[in-house]
Structure 1
């Protein structure tokens, strides 16, 4: 017996399975390319690396934003979870530091996530809602840490963007040493955010062997 489209049930099941495989392959490839190159990878390049036609890609993901939000859905959810865990910590300064450290660590291993964190997704209500929830939670952490005298009083919510931008710059310039360089930078930044003498400074992570040639992209002599 044929379906309304004239396709046998077994054949229809095969088509659905093939569509699922294509979709999963597109997401897998996009995730890898975004992590390596950022969000500017052409859709045609995603299709080519996934072994599907551009038309197939656009059937599954009509816009670049729809592909990006699907690729980073788990990371956005993880950010919300990190903030929720930090809010449950009885020590607001520790919770504040945990959010900065974990989000920056996520940035350090995925260039695409760095861009996705600050990108606008007007058509993706769930993503925008999750990000707003995470930001509200971070604002509450900030308030608590200031209130008990652990975080310097002049820290502003917009400074979170500043920290993420600094971390993003480190990541872009340091390639394979990015995670270690990021950890050291974050340790410096958090030490600078402590209210003076409020908490003993933690030892910095080990230094990372970096060259100014790497930072400025100039050729080595």
Structure 2
């Protein structure tokens, strides 16, 4: 029976690690990176000692919890740069980054380097900055992106987009898509010819006050 003990311990450790990562995505995703580690442990149903045994540093937990989002962000940058239509690539990058940020407050915080120790995210941000600069140059050469656009405009846009985290959770994705559509139109050099592209549906962000008898 003792021969099976190490395998059981490894299995338990893998299960605990998975529970911690799921809890971190949920807690940091909803509360942001300021959420304490003990809240992650509580959400996972584990003791703080178990959490720290797997992730002694908060930044390591954040990096692994949002690994999928980081890969998706890098893929969005890669796809945008290889798009033969620079304006389409520029638009798609804005849409995909907004989508990633809308689904997780923690990922948005880390990407915007609100958590300075998350250096991996700072590298992702720098990669996105360079990609946007290159895409902007190409799109401006085609006359589709307004000539006054600078990369810091994207940062300004993402800072405003973070305000959507205060919206009801069910409405965030819808609000993000509509926000991105408005931003893209603001960046366009000239109005579209013909019928304008329809905007995504508007979300319900404010609840109506109860009617008085």
**C-alpha distance after superposition, 1:98-130 (max 9, x if no partner):** 010111112222222211211267666654444
Partner of 2:203: 208
Q: 1:119 aligns with which of 109, 113, 135?
A: 113
What RMSD, in angstroms, separates the aligned Cα atoms of the two structures? 2.4
Specify the SS of the correspondent of 2:151: coil
TM-score by length of 2: 0.87
TM-score by length of 1: 0.84
Gaps of 5+ in 1: 1-7
Does the 8 A contact of 2:38 with 2:48 survive in 1? yes
| 1:164 paired to 2:158 | yes
Cα distance in 2 for partners of 1:103, 1:199 equals 27
Q: 2:190 aligns with which of 170, 175, 196?
A: 196
**C-alpha distance after superposition, 1:68-121 (max 9, x if no partner):** 111111111111101111111111011000010111112222222211211267
The verdict on how the C-alpha distance between 1:61 and 1:220 changes in structure 2, with shifts beyond 3 A counting, is farther
Does the 8 A contact of 1:83 with 1:134 survive in 2? yes
Cα distance in 1 for partners of 2:17, 2:183 equals 40
Cα distance in 2 for partners of 1:125, 1:10 equals 40
Cα distance in 2 for partners of 1:220, 1:139 equals 49
| 1:38 paired to 2:68 | no
Specify the SS of the correspondent of 1:34: helix
Aligned residues: 209
Gaps of 5+ in 2: none
Does the 8 A contact of 2:110 with 2:118 survive in 1? no
Cα distance in 2 for partners of 1:188, 1:127 equals 27
Partner of 1:138: 132
The verdict on how the C-alpha distance between 1:199 and 1:18 changes in structure 2, with shifts beyond 3 A counting, is farther
